[in-house]
Amino acid sequence: MATISATDAKNKIADLWQMADREPVTIERNGVAKYQVISTDQFVAVPIEEYNRLRSARRAPEFGFAREYFEGVDTDALLAVDVASEFESSE
């Protein structure tokens, strides 16, 4: 797994995308791993159980948290989207 600094990620975004196409990339801020960047193909390949486990590791935002940031956007519709079908196996 590749690792780059937050500054390099910001300044070399095209390189970050190319790296993420090949493998997950850890972005560090002040020497501490803060973010993981993965390609859409890698994300879709994550089983729903693993996605739920990773998501539960952090406190999920409360319903309506984005209203103050996205005035005029129908946040109820955005937050109501069911993405579980995106993870269903086509087998």
- Can you give the pTM of this predicted structure? 0.50
Residue 59 included in any domain: no
Please check the confidence at residue 11 and state whether its pLDDT lies above 90. Answer: yes
Number of domains in the chain: 1
**Residue 38 belongs to domain spanning:** 1-45
**CA 31 centroid distance within chain:** 20
Q: Is 12 within a domain?
A: yes
Determine, yes or no, domain membership for 88: no
pLDDT in tens, 26-66: 999 888 888 888 888 887 777 888 777 766 655 555 666 65
17: domain CATH number is: 3.40.1620.10
- Buried/exposed code over 56-67 (b: 16+ C-beta within 10 A; e: otherwise): eeeeeeeeeeee
